[in-house]
Amino acid sequence: MLVERFAENPIIRPQDVTPSRDDNEVVGAFNAGATVFRGQILLLLRVAERPKDKAADEQVAPILNPHTGEIEHFRAKNDDPAVEIPDSRSFFYNGKINLTSISHLRIARSDDGVHFEIDDRPAVYPQTYYETYGLEDPRITQIGEKWYITYKVVSDHGICTGLLSTEDFEYFERHGIIFCPENLDVVLFPEMIRGEYWALTRPVPMYIGPKAIWGARSDDLIHWGGHCPVITPRPGEFDGGKVGGSCVPIKTDEGWLEIYHGSDIEDRYCLAAALHDLEDPSKVIARSKEPLMQPETDYEIKGFYGNVVFACGHVEKDGEIIIYYGASDEHTAGARTTLDKIMNTLQ
């Protein structure tokens, strides 16, 4: 078996999370970044909320007003001719997209990696003009004594990648937008490579080009250049629709091992692995022929947005790799594997 799912899955469900406001309900606790902090496993959950009083016959979009700091609710009736509903995650009003939930980041801690204590309050909450639709899908990379968190920010201006840093997981410094629209699924390598920081990014081209993983380089983690395509979708295969970085690359003797996600043309999300050259991560040495994980269990197939396994983080523990992944854009689940098992999927 390539991966062993936790018997306790899903380990964090929306109902396990205290809403940030009394009048909200949590609809998703998923796509968590992961790291080890002060001897504990720390997850930074994406917590998606919506107003509790949402009626069945309406759509509600919670949107930050960056001037007041308040989250306001834009409501529209399902039968309003201006409303179009592509799926559970969003609706259009007169052609303008609205998200049905707004996400913030929340800390959960664990000693055994399975049972988590979840903070009552958000760690990072929508605050800036570029976060008005929320903060999503954090990846945590420890570099020296600091933790850097890339996260997807969503607003009227677009979907971009922001950068946070923290030394204590109490105070988080915002470093602004490091990749302009449309770019998401950004993962930072944990050390400099030949004198430069590296990132995997996922530009979203409008007219030309696949939804592929690109590489970028930086001297300071804030300014990025040297963009180049690295991993492209493989038409007809499980990752033929789009690919994106998932976990922080793991340094091995053979190369940087990246657990990435790929979806097919039906938007079914799997996890797979790629091995990047140690000295030049833009070179891919090998790649999984078959998925490392694919939606199989009930909680992976059904949910807020079904048929999704989507990881934003892993930790190494007792010689194993624990992958924390979002299941169906709703729950957080875990699975154990080993470096050797992942390496064996590569070709």
C-alpha gyration radius of the chain: 19
Q: Are 33 and 149 in contact (CB under 8 A)?
A: yes
Q: Please name every residue paired with 102 in a beta bridge, in sequence order, or none if there are none.
A: 49
Tokens of 171: 């105070």
Tokens of 344: 């064996």
Rounded to a whole number of angstroms, the minimum distance from the CB of residue 176 to a copy of itself is 6
Out of 18, 88, 142, 218, the only residue in the binding site for a copy of itself (CB under 8 A) is: 218
Out of 59, 141, 183, 246, the only residue in the binding site for a copy of itself (CB under 8 A) is: 183
Q: Which stretch binds a copy of itself (CB under 8 A): 104-112, 157-165, 285-293, 328-336?
A: 157-165
Query: Is residue 227 close enough to count as binding a copy of itself by CB under 8 A?
Result: yes
Query: Is residue 160 close enough to count as binding a copy of itself by CB under 8 A?
Result: yes
Cα dihedral across residues 245, 106, 119, 31: positive or negative: negative
Tokens of 103: 């996400």
Q: Are 188 and 199 in contact (CB under 8 A)?
A: yes
| 192-211 residues near a copy of itself, rule: CB under 8 A | 201, 203-210
Query: Is residue 103 close enough to count as binding a copy of itself by CB under 8 A?
Result: no
Out of 85, 192, 222, 285, the only residue in the binding site for a copy of itself (CB under 8 A) is: 222
Rounded to a whole number of angstroms, the minimum distance from the CB of residue 315 to a copy of itself is 29
Query: Is residue 154 close enough to count as binding a copy of itself by CB under 8 A?
Result: yes
Q: What's the rounded Cα separation, in Å, for the pair 174 and 209?
A: 31
Q: How many CB atoms lie within 10 A of CB 302?
A: 14
Q: Please name every residue paired with 323 in a beta bridge, in sequence order, or none if there are none.
A: 314, 335
Site size with a copy of itself, rule: CB under 8 A: 42
Span between the terminal Cα atoms of the chain, in Å: 18
Out of 180, 192, 265, 285, the only residue in the binding site for a copy of itself (CB under 8 A) is: 180
Rounded to a whole number of angstroms, the minimum distance from the CB of residue 7 to a copy of itself is 37
Contact residues toward a copy of itself (CB under 8 A) are 97, 130, 133, 154-160, 176-183, 201, 203-210, 212, 214, 216-220, 222-229
